[in-house]
Amino acid sequence: MNRHVISLLVDNHAGVLTRVSSLFGRRGFNIDSLTVSATNDPATSRITIVVHVDDDAELQQIILQTANLQESQQVFALDIPHSLLRELLLIKVCADVTNRTELKEIASIYKAKIIDLSPTSMVFELTGEPEKIDAFLSMLADYKIMEMCRTGITALERGNRHDHIQQQQA
């Protein structure tokens, strides 16, 4: 199964997220990651969904069915090599005088910020591509993780605006 990132521009109304996510569930597609955010237009929200599908026909089925929702303005698959994908990780790790230096070195390599420090723990913040987050988490696997929160992927295509958006505004 291949990973695909679908970007939706939708009306900013109550219940839109429920309608979109239930459509995926009814069709038997599992959502791996889902983020919702404001856009530069207060009437529009962006939903970024990551799914794994077997083939392009399934991907097109998802796009067409999602585009048929009344609240959908634009629905398109992002070209991952030509897109910027980012996630945010907050992670609290047990830390004391014996391992604090090691943890700081790992954080430095990955450019993670230490956003909280107590006598018994450290909280790191890391933003980056999903693979960078995964690699950082693997480096912390030998430490006791107390809590963790990881956002889903949010993404935009590089360079000029997406063709669909240009057509809509023209």
Residues 6+ apart with CB under 8 A from 145: 91, 92, 93, 94
List for the chain the helix, strand, coil content (%; round to 5). 30, 40, 30
Which H or E element spans position 87? strand 83-94
- Whole-model pTM? 0.84
Q: If we measure between CA atoms, which residue out of 37, 42, 40, 1 comes closest to residue 152?
A: 37
Instruction: Report the SS3 class of residue 169.
Output: helix
CATH superfamily of 2-77: ACT domain (3.30.70.260)
Residues 6+ apart with CB under 8 A from 47: 7, 8, 10, 16, 17, 20, 34, 35, 36
Q: Which amino acid is at 43?
A: A
Q: Which amino acid is at 89?
A: L
pLDDT tens for 85-108 read 999 999 999 999 999 999 999 999
Q: Which amino acid is at 73?
A: Q
**CATH code, residues 84-154:** 3.30.70.1150
Whether 2-77 shares its CATH topology with 84-154 is answered yes
Per-domain residue ranges for the chain?
2-77, 84-154
- Residues forming beta bridges with residue 121, ordered by sequence position: 94
Rounded Cα distance between 150 and 141, Å, is 15
pLDDT in tens, the chain (170 residues): 788 999 999 999 999 999 999 999 998 888 999 999 989 999 999 999 999 998 889 999 999 999 999 999 999 999 999 999 999 999 999 999 999 999 999 999 999 999 999 999 999 999 999 999 999 999 999 999 999 999 999 999 998 755 555 444 44
What does the pLDDT read at residue 159? 87
- Give the orientation angle of helix 56-67 with respect to helix 16-26, to 10 degrees: 140
Mean pLDDT of the chain: 92
